[in-house]
A = this chain, B = another copy of it.
Amino acid sequence: METLRMVTVVAPVNIAVIKYWGKRDENLILPLNGSISGTLSTNQMCAKTTVSFSRNFTRNRIWLNGVEETFENRRLINCLNEVRRRAKEQGKISPEELEYNVHICSVNNFPTAAGLASSAAGYACLVASLSKLYQLDGDISSIARQGSGSACRSIYGGFVEWIAGDKNDGTDSCAVQVVDSNHWNEMRVLILVVSENKKKTGSTAGMQTSVATSELLKTRVSQVVPKRLADIKQAIYNKDFKTFADITMQDSNQFHAVCLDTYPPLVYMSEVSHAISDLIHQINEEAGKTIVAYTFDAGPNACLYLLEEHVPLVLAAVNHVFPTTQNADTYFTGIPVTLDSQLEKKLPKIVERTPWDPNALRYTVHTKIGEGPKELTAADHLLGANGHPTPMAF
Dominant secondary structure of chain A at its interface with chain B: helix
Contacting residues, chain B, for A246 (C-beta < 8 A): 263
Least CB distance from A125 to B in Å reads 33
Contact mask A203-236 → B, CB, 8 Å, 1/0?
0000000000101101110011000000000000
Q: A250 at interface (Cβ–Cβ under 8 A)?
A: yes
Nearest residue (CB) in B for A282 is B264
Count of identical protomers in the assembly: 2
Number of contacting residues on A, CB 8 A? 30
Which interface residue of A262, A267, A278 has the most chain B CB atoms within 10 A?
Answer: A267
- Residue pair A260, B265 in contact (C-beta under 8 Å): no
Contact of A265 among B213, B253, B259, B271 (CB under 8 A): B253
Contacting residues, chain B, for A256 (C-beta < 8 A): 260
Contact of A216 among B219, B262, B274, B281 (CB under 8 A): B219
Q: A93 at interface (Cβ–Cβ under 8 A)?
A: no
Contacting residues, chain B, for A262 (C-beta < 8 A): 253
Which interface residue of A219, A223, A271 has the most chain B CB atoms within 10 A?
Answer: A219
- Residue pair B263, A250 in contact (C-beta under 8 Å): yes
Question: Which residues of A line the B interface, CB within 8 A?
Answer: 213, 215-216, 218-220, 223-224, 246, 249-250, 253-254, 256-265, 267, 270-271, 274, 277-278, 281
What are 24 A-B pairs with beta-carbon distances under 8 A? A215-B219, A215-B224, A215-B254, A216-B216, A216-B219, A216-B220, A216-B257, A216-B261, A218-B219, A219-B223, A246-B263, A249-B263, A250-B263, A253-B261, A253-B262, A253-B263, A254-B260, A257-B257, A257-B260, A257-B261, A260-B260, A264-B277, A264-B278, A270-B271
